[in-house]
Amino acid sequence: MEDKISLEMAADGEGRSLVSVVVGRRFAVAPDGLLSDRGDFAFCEEPIEYEATDCLGPIQPDLMKRDIDTWPWKSGADLVIQGTANFQSPIQTTDLLLEVRGEANFRQVIRATGDRRVERRGGQLALSDPERFDAMPLRWDKAYGGTDAAAHERMLHPDYLWLIRQQMSEEAADSWSELSYPRNPAGKGYLVEGSDPEGLQWPNLEFAGEELSLTRLQLPVGRWGQQVYPACWDWLPYFWVPRLCALGDHPETFDEKSPSKEVELGILTPDFPSLGLIQRNMTNLARGAHPYLQHLKFSGDEVIRVSALGHEGADLTAQLPGLCPQVELRLGGGRVQTLRGELDLVFIEGDEQSVSLVWRASTYELPNPLGVDFSATAEVPLPPGWQEQAEVSVAWV
């Protein structure tokens, strides 16, 4: 089987120049959980969006179906799970389990519930009974978030909205509002202080133990960071918090500090809003998994189980193959270097019953003229044809 290899150059989280060999494979998942190489892996080199989603209202954010594979540097592995949970008969609610067993140990439950709305009963707010469902897409548009459309019309002056639309493309203007939930503008349930909750659609996917509450439904705009975290295992789009923070500022908070959840997860520092762009951790841009799924360290032989994502609604179980690429690399005139790969991505596609794995093997030993001073220039003056001149071979251990 011919390995898919990409040779990339960049800087790590400390600004040191490196060259990385990125290697990818895609595996079919058998009902018993064993993987077999499909031989059809292809690097994704630019993001791909879903063609259709269930986003509500006039604001229609793009949801990412596939992210870039060829990042030359990541600060850890991403676990991304995509697909539709299926059930033999219609149900109102169920718990979906994600379990990782091995060196990376992790367990998380998403509670999936049929469509509900906020109602008034005897002058009190209540939730309608859940509708029954036999399939639930594990996408961001089913999680907490969205845009408070009424507040968008009420709080933003038409002249201001007109000016914003003149400064960006029509597509960009239709994908985000200042009254969108910064962590997930595609979801449902987000409401700011002063809006009427009656008729509000409730999220279908919620982390067990972190559910949205009717008593804490409305908060001032600046307290968005105190709301519940959206429950999803799919790709995190680039212009959502916290991934956005590698490129610019997150929306204002009431205390002018970073939201405590992102600080707790180690993604942002408390003083992030006061940092200049050059002081920020740009490597977070490469982290495409949900923030809860960015901290795992995979050895590559873990067993991963996801409820209802397998054949005919069975659990999907995947026994990772325990493979690791050992790379022999020679860069223009330098010595042959032996590099051991690190697993950067585990991507499970339930609808395809497949698992894609991406490894990265990096070196800081760059012979002239490959040495690049990233502090001196934003452009990377690579010698022409340096990738083609490199000698690369991969053995699996």
Q: Strand pairing of 124-127 and 118-121?
A: antiparallel
Alpha-carbon distance of 229 to 280, in angstroms, equals: 23
- The total of other beta-carbon atoms located within 10 Å of residue 384's CB is 6
Residues facing 359 on adjacent strands:
23, 343
pLDDT averaged over the chain? 89
Confidence bin at 372 (pLDDT 50/70/90): very low
Query: pLDDT at position 248, please?
Result: 77
Q: CA-CA distance, 345 to 294, in Å (whole number)? A: 10
pLDDT band for position 397 (cuts 50, 70, 90) = very high
Q: Report in angstroms the alpha-carbon separations of 382 from 16, 45, 62.
A: 15, 19, 34
pLDDT of 383 above 70: no
Rg (CA), the chain: 23
Q: Residue 236: which of 227, 246, 228, 226 has the closest Cα? A: 246
Mean pLDDT of all residues in 96-100? 98
pLDDT for the residue 152: 80
Q: Is the pLDDT of residue 160 over 60?
A: no
What gap in Å lies between CA 137 and CA 142, rounded to an integer?
7
Which residues are within 8 A (CB) of 208 and not within 5 positions of it... i.e. 6 or more apart? 95, 109, 110, 111
Cis (ω within 30 of 0) for the bond into 369?
yes
DSSP lists the bridge partners of residue 272 as none
Gap between the Cα atoms of 391 and 192, Å rounded:
57
Whether the predicted pLDDT of 101 surpasses 70: yes
Q: Evaluate whether 66 touches 259 at the Cβ level (below 8 Å).
A: no
Distance CA 228, CA 211 (A): 7
Give the pLDDT confidence score for residue 379 in this predicted structure: 40
CA distance 214 to 388: 59
Interior angle at CA 293, CA 257 and CA 79, nearest 5:
145
Judge whether 206 and 197 are in contact, CB under 8 Å.
Answer: no
Using the predicted structure, report yes or no on whether residue 380 has a pLDDT greater than 60: no
pLDDT of residue 168 exceeding 80, the answer is: no
Q: What share of the chain is helix, strand, coil (3-state, %, to 5)?
A: 15, 35, 50
Give the single-character DSSP code of 278: G
Q: Select the highest-mean-pLDDT range: 146-160, 208-222, 359-373.
A: 208-222
Q: Can you tell me the mean pLDDT for 334-347?
A: 95
Q: What pTM was estimated for this model as a whole?
A: 0.93
